[in-house]
Amino acid sequence: MSKAKKKKQTADTRAQPQMKIVLSDTCAQCRTPCARGLDYLARMRQPGAIGRGVPCVLTLVARK
């Protein structure tokens, strides 16, 4: 009789940290502005800028 081997966790089953995407209005109100957010704010102040948001390190959540 052989011992049962433990299966290694695949990338799908491991919890990966996820950052939420925030828009410029959220970055402008942030109490602890980061370099990524400040750069995004500067780009959004340009006339005609179209933004899709930026990942915020303050909103890290674990994936379930």
Q: What mean pLDDT is predicted for residues 1-19?
A: 73
Task: Answer yes or no: are the C-beta atoms of 41 and 24 closer than 8 Å.
Answer: yes
Q: How far apart are CA 13 and CA 11, in angstroms?
A: 6
Which pLDDT tens digit goes with each residue over 14-25?
Answer: 777 888 999 999
Residue-range domain boundaries for the chain = 17-62
pTM recorded for the entire structure: 0.65
Q: What mean pLDDT is predicted for residues 4-13?
A: 70
- Please state whether 11 falls in left (phi above 0), alpha (psi between -120 and 50) or beta: alpha
- How far out from the chain centre does Cα 41 lie? 17
Q: What mean pLDDT is predicted for residues 8-13?
A: 68
Task: Report the b/e string of 3-29 with b at 16+ CB within 10 A.
Answer: eeeeeeeeeeeeeeeeeeebebebbee
Which pLDDT tens digit goes with each residue over 19-47?
Answer: 899 999 999 999 998 999 999 999 999 99
